[in-house]
Amino acid sequence: MSLTFFDVGDMLYFCICTGRMAKFIDIDGFSQIGDNALIANGDAINYMGKLPDNSVDLIITDPPYNLGLFMKKRGTNMNKLRKGHFAASGWDDLEFDEWIKQMDLLFRECHRVLRKRGSLIMFMSIIKVESLIGLALKHGFYYKTVGVWHKTNPLPRNMNLQFINSTEPWIYMINDGTTGTFNNAGKALHDFVETSTISSKERKLGKHPTQKPLALMEHFVQILSNKGDVIVDPFMGSGTTAIAAIKNDRKFIGIELNSEYYNLTINRIKEIL
């Protein structure tokens, strides 16, 4: 499958080509950056609804974990949290039932836009993983595994009071199938990925409070997709998935609600063009 972007008047079009078939589709509200990226500034579910059925090979995303209210109710000292910390940000504090409704809609759209046997990687808090697996199964996904990202240099916050938080889970699922693209080159790959957190260079370009390192995103891009494939991130933040996709000769479509992070993504993409 390949994806080609076209400018036609005031609308952006892309061509989905599968074998001999080609279909031109307008995507209102998306902006083209370079030859391989379409991005939009707005609500994830709304803009996912603009993408055509069966047009995506891989989704990698890091949605809000919805832990803000949870942390506040536990009596976390919010005044001492670093600027921009998710628990004090205001964008991570939906009531649980409302968050579940939003995630249900997201899985519906992910199922619709992914091709058969397309893959989905979603980062999430460990206390929410079971809830999300249930929603995914409802929408036609096959659960493969829950893996772990281990940060080799986590912030040693409260190190004399508790274990340092050095891991984040990720969920791996297949759409309408039991297996998909898996470029392991004949090697046994563990569901344990170890990297440092973002480098000073990445932090300078990104500055997102929950930003994932480029090496982590490239790990999934290289294993779960092929050159020319279409990768989507509905919560692209400052654009790390975009950079991983473009640097590895994939097409990228991304959505970000926050205009500041959306503009950061544009700047990061232009840096590598």
User: pLDDT per residue over 235-250, tens digit each?
Assistant: 999 899 999 999 999 9
Main-chain dihedrals φ then ψ at residue 240, nearest 5 degrees: -65, -40
Is the model's pTM score more than 0.95?
no
CATH class of 30-272: alpha beta
Describe the chain by its helix, strand, coil percentages, rounded to 5: 30, 30, 40
Query: Residue 73 has what DSSP assignment?
Result: H
Q: Which of 196, 189, 182, 208 is nearest to 149 (CA)?
A: 196
Residues linked to residue 6 through DSSP beta bridges, in sequence order: 13
pLDDT score, position 23: 45
More confident residue, 90 or 132: 132
Most confident stretch, 16-20, 71-75, 233-237: 233-237
Mind listing the pLDDT tens digit for each residue in 198-236?
776 766 666 666 779 999 999 999 999 999 999 999 999
Residue 197 half-sphere exposure toward CB, CA atoms < 13 A: 17
Least confident of 157-161, 214-218, 255-259: 157-161
Burial class from Cβ neighbours inside 10 Å (0-12, 13-18, 19+) for residue 227 reads: exposed
Return the C-alpha torsion angle 253, 109, 55, 170, nearest 10: 60
Residues 25-30: what's their mean pLDDT? Answer: 77
Residue 159 half-sphere exposure toward CB, CA atoms < 13 A: 6
159, pLDDT greater than 50: yes
As a whole number of angstroms, the distance between CA 41 and CA 263 comes to 9
pLDDT score, position 21: 40
- Report yes or no: 234 and 244 within 8 Å, Cβ to Cβ: no
